[in-house]
Amino acid sequence: MAKFYVSMMCADMTHLADEMKNLEEAEIEGYHLDIMDGRYVPNFALGVADIIGIRKLTNKDLDVHLMIENPEKHIDLFVDLGANMISFHLNSTRHVDRLINTISSKGIKVGVALNPSETIEEVKYIIEKLDFILVMGVNPGFAGQQYVNYVDQKFKDLKNLIAQRNLKVELYLDGCVNQDRVEYLDKIGVDGYVLGTSLLFGKDRTYKEIMDEVNNKIRG
Ligand code: DX5
Ligand code: ZN
């Protein structure tokens, strides 16, 4: 069953409690929290105060996506803030395997985020240690971008690798998730999606109406 995480960088933060109440009525899996430093990506997104507020208002999973340089320096901060899942970009840290071990040792689900051009070769030795792979459908850092079409093939290649080695790692798409893409990738066996402006936020329907339609379409 597909899992839907909502990208809170796209949410209306002026009415956070109401926004999260409406999101949770839409039966979401959890909250995707994009953290940016203006260096790894040329943008900023959520901050510590946002995470504190969101954590206070929900028991659902907080999926922290670190788009920052040297994420190894900040893991304890996000664990203390209540992260349940942490992903980081391979080329943002010198020692990937060590950082995976560090995050796992905290009892947090660990993932790596693959930029569109990065191949599955990058993860073939570490994939057994991962709980999930966050496959970027866009170049990281901004909402509202166009999907990078060759990412579809990456999902197929990853699913083949997972099947060959009988792995449990989950695949999530982050970036430009729309209805058609969910229906297509659900058939390939993608496990989860990060919903932002492409499907959920800034529309003229309620979150529940949108998510009911998405779920009905993939459940058939
Ligand atoms: C991209 C962000 C996402 C996402 C937002 O760096 O991590 O949260 O793009 O969703 P869309 O692409 O639908 O606006
Ligand atoms: Zn993200």
Element (H, E) at 188: helix 179-188
pTM above 0.95, yes or no: yes
Decide: 137 and 7 in contact? Cβ < 8 Å: no
Give per-residue burial for 130-154: e unless 16+ CB within 10 Å, then b: bbbbbbbbbebbbbebebbeebbeb
Closest residue by Cα to atom 9, ligand 1, is 175
**Cα–Cα dist 53/49, whole Å:** 6
Cα of 33 from ligand 1 centre, angstroms: 10
Tell the residue number behind the tokens 């966050």, with chain if given.
134
Quote the pLDDT of residue 219: 84
Decide: 25 and 211 in contact? Cβ < 8 Å: no
**Cα–Cα dist 66/69, whole Å:** 9
Q: Which residues are catalytic?
A: 34, 174
The closest-lying atom of ligand 1 relative to the alpha carbon of residue 141 is: 6
pLDDT 10s digits, 105-120: 999 999 999 999 999 9
98, β-bridge pairs: none
Q: Which of 4, 5, 34 to mutate to test the pocket of ligand 1 (most atoms within 8 A of CB)?
A: 34
- CB neighbour list of residue 218: distance below 8 Å, 6 or more residues apart: 2, 182, 183, 186
- CB neighbour list of residue 120: distance below 8 Å, 6 or more residues apart: 114, 154, 157, 158, 161
pLDDT 10s digits, 121-180: 999 999 999 999 999 999 999 999 999 999 999 999 999 999 999 999 999 999 999 999
Name all residues whose Cβ lies below 6 A of ligand 1: 7, 9-10, 34, 65, 138, 140-141, 143-145, 174-177, 194, 196-198
Quote the pLDDT of residue 193: 98
pLDDT 10s digits, 10-67: 999 999 999 999 999 998 999 999 999 999 999 999 999 999 999 999 999 999 999 9
* pLDDT higher than threshold 80 for residue 220: no
Cα of 7 from ligand 1 centre, angstroms: 7
Q: Report CA dihedral (195, 201, 205, 206) to the nearest 10 degrees.
A: 70
